[in-house]
Amino acid sequence: MPNNQISLGNPFGLNIALPKKTLEDVQKAAQKELENITVNPVLDYLEENDKVFSGQVAREIKKYQAQIYSLGQVMRDESPHSTFNVNI
């Protein structure tokens, strides 16, 4: 048997010899697909939601809450206070 082939023994009485390059190509393709299935979705999720994990979103929410409170305070201070006239 040539050096560039691997024998799988005699499965079911057949002599099967696969070239090493074929096995290496299959192994590389399988590793790549396994990585695409398991690692890439997790990395994509982390990259997509980086602002959440870094705290940037929380800072933006606090900033907007402060703006809303300030605007509400200004509006409450500027609104005329209604008085009830009890004179008859």
- Number of domains present in the structure of the chain: 1
Q: Per the domain annotation, does 87 fall within a domain?
A: no
Give, for all 88 residues of the chain, the pLDDT tens digit.
455 555 555 555 566 777 888 888 988 998 888 877 777 777 888 888 888 888 888 999 999 999 999 998 888 887 666 666 667 6
DSSP 79: S
Instruction: Give the pTM.
Output: 0.41
Per the structure, the complete domain to which residue 47 belongs is given by 17-77
Q: Per the domain annotation, does 51 fall within a domain?
A: yes
Q: 3-state class of 6 per DSSP?
A: strand
Q: Per the domain annotation, does 32 fall within a domain?
A: yes
